[in-house]
């Protein structure tokens, strides 16, 4: 059982916060949706800029993060609603809430420090926990299921596609040799057998990224969202998406370009916004972030 009171939410630093808030240009009586609310860093700033006639709606797949976020946002007087859902279900959830169009949408697609530092979730290669990697713990398939039940070719393709790891085949073969793999250090052993010491940590990061993306169907959900978000956004409303690896950023870039060509949105960031050196020094998690913004037209 997690003791939420002992979690240091103050150490959670929202990425590109000033830039995101500037582009969203919060209207006091507006309705805003944070599709990846996490511990509520961005949401808190949005909520503070709203009046009691405005509303914040937050989605997250991680029920533990939602509990923490709810405690943080409840200290504010302005109205908000949190939903244990994925952002790709925006249309159906807004309909259930009786909400029409929103004034702005924010997605921060990164893994939170709360998740990364968990001793139970398996996101962190330095913590020998069970290989879970689910954002939503009610979901059935875990990273262990992928590692132990996929065929070698399928596993190698997963690691290459979502991790861009050129040693994916030998890694998959070594995973098969030492199955069952249930713990982080067992997966690290398969990677150790497959790679020279130089740059091994980069391979570890790529394999862990690939597994996390596959377990949570991150790219599938993002693709679906990118085809439908505009139908929930008011004319003049902004969409702000912060991504953390090239696969996500490429999807966002191409979707925005296509929607702009169809005169559905206007892209406001021809090149992605990246963090300043000052922000990177203060928050190493921000260093790979890229923010793209568009306006509904």
Structural domains of the chain, ranges and CATH numbers in brackets = 4-114+219-296 (3.40.50.150), 119-218 (1.10.150.170)
Q: How far is CA 261 from CA 186, 257, 295, in A?
A: 48, 6, 13
Burial of 117 (0-12, 13-18, 19+ CB in 10 A): middle
Summarize pLDDT for 42-89 with one digit per residue, the tens. Answer: 999 999 999 999 999 999 999 999 999 999 999 999 999 999 999 999
260-296 pLDDT, tens digit per residue, is 999 999 999 999 999 999 999 999 889 999 999 999 9
pLDDT of residue 114: 87
pTM of the shown model:
0.93
Quick one: pLDDT at residue 112?
A: 83
- What one-character-per-residue DSSP string does the chain give? ---GGGS-GGG---TTHHHHHHHH---TT-EEEETT-TTSHHHHHHHHHS-TT-EEEEEES-HHHHHHHHHHHTTSSS-EEEEES-GGGHHHHHHHHT---EEEEEEE-SPPHHHHT-SSS---TTS--BS---SSTTSS--HHHHHHHS-HHHHHHHHHHHH--TTHHHHHHHHHHH----BHHHHHHHHHHHS-STTHHHHHHHHHHHHHHHHHTHHHHHHHHHHHGGGGEEEEEEEEEEESSHHHHHHHHHHHHHHHHTTSEEES-SS-B---HHHHHH-GGGGG-EEEEEEE-
In tens, the pLDDT along 106-165 reads 999 998 888 988 999 999 999 999 999 999 999 999 999 999 999 999 999 999 999 999
pLDDT number for residue 12: 65
pLDDT of residue 90: 97
Q: What is the mean pLDDT of residues 21-41?
A: 97
pLDDT at 113: 81
pLDDT at 9 over 50: no
pLDDT at 256 over 60: yes
Q: What is the pLDDT of residues 171-227, one digit of tens each?
A: 999 999 999 999 999 999 999 999 999 999 999 999 999 999 999 999 999 999 999
Distance CA 110, CA 100 (A): 27
Binned at pLDDT 50, 70 and 90, residue 5 comes out as very low
Q: How far apart are the first and last CA of the chain?
A: 47
Query: At which residue do the structure tokens 């979690």 appear?
Result: 7
Phi and psi dihedrals of 166, rounded to 5? Answer: -75, -15
Distance CA 176, CA 150 (A): 9
């Amino acid at each position: 059982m997690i003791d939420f009171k002992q979690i240091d939410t103050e150490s959670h630093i929202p990425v590109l916060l000033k830039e995101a808030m500037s582009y969203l240009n919060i209207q006091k009586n507006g309705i805003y949706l944070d599709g990846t609310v996490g511990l509520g860093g961005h949401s808190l700033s949005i909520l503070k800029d709203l009046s009691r006639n405005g509303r914040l709606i937050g989605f997250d797949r991680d029920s533990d993060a939602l509990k923490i976020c709810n405690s943080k946002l409840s200290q504010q007087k302005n109205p908000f609603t949190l939903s244990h859902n994925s952002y790709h279900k925006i249309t159906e959830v807004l309909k259930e809430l009786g909400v029409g169009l929103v004034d702005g949408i924010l997605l921060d697609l990164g893994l939170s420090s709360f998740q990364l530092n968990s001793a139970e979730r398996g996101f962190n290669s330095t913590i020998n926990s069970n290989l879970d990697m689910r954002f939503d713990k009610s979901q059935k398939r875990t990273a262990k299921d992928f590692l132990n039940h996929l065929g070698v070719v399928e596993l190698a393709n997963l690691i290459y596609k979502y991790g861009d790891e050129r040693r994916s085949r030998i890694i998959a073969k070594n995973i098969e040799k030492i199955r069952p793999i249930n713990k982080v250090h067992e997966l690290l052993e398969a990677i150790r057998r497959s790679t020279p010491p130089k740059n091994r940590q980069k391979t570890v990061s790529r394999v862990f990224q690939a597994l996390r993306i596959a377990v949570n169907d991150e790219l599938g959900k993002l693709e679906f969202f990118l085809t439908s978000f505009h139908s929930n956004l008011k004319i003049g409303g902004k969409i702000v998406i912060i991504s953390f690896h090239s696969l996500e950023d490429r999807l966002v870039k191409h979707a925005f370009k296509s929607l702009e060509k169809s005169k559905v949105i206007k892209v406001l960031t021809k090149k992605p916004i990246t963090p300043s050196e000052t922000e990177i020094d203060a928050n190493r998690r921000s260093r790979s972030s890229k923010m793209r913004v568009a306006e509904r037209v």
